[in-house]
Structure 1
Amino acid sequence: MRILTASVIATAVFFGTPAFVLAQGAPSQSGAPTPPAQSSTVIRSIEVVNIKELKPDVRAKIDQIVANTSDKDMQSLRQSIDATPQAASVLKAKGLSSAQVVAINISDGVLTMITV
């Protein structure tokens, strides 16, 4: 499967809790746009999970991350998803769109999109 590339920042929590990823725009010191970082993670499969299906403690951590994420950063995440045909296709097959994705997790080649 195609390599997923996106500008991302990961918040990892140890001992089994996945690393949730949200798009982040790094502030530029010169005022010029900064090109996105490249991710070399190969995505082998894609899953979609509704946030309501997660354990309360994991859901609370995602809610906190989402609350601290700007609209611009969330838009960047969703644009990255839309630019990845495999991810957009999986969402569409489930009757969803990137607009419903609030976070992603990439672990062991599995892209998990968390939706509302």
Structure 2
Amino acid sequence: MSDIVITKDSTYEERMAAIRAASERLNKRKARRARLAASAARVVRYVDEVEKKKRKKFNDYVSKIHNQYDENHNHYQDAPQYAEKYYGEKMRDTIAMDNDWG
């Protein structure tokens, strides 16, 4: 604690000296805490492990391509709809001439 205590009987200069002394102590305390916080932040950044991005494995790429082989992109679910969409008039003209009697 400080040696100067503010009392009712203190003069203006004594009160101001006590206030300045207290202000200096508080400023020193704030500066010390700021230095400690800054050094702690550096330590945390240094010590903490940052998770690196994982490389994609070659097997993942191969399995993705392998799974695409199971899908047939050339098929169409509804044959009449496919024929109508891509062949339209030609298909209808061809079917008109077809019959079961050969």
TM-score (norm 1): 0.18
* Between structures 1 and 2, the one with greater strand share: 1
Structure scoring higher RCO (CA < 8 A, sep ≥ 6) equals 1
* Between structures 1 and 2, the one with greater helix share: 2
- Please identify the structure whose Cα radius of gyration is greater: 2
TM-score (norm 2): 0.20
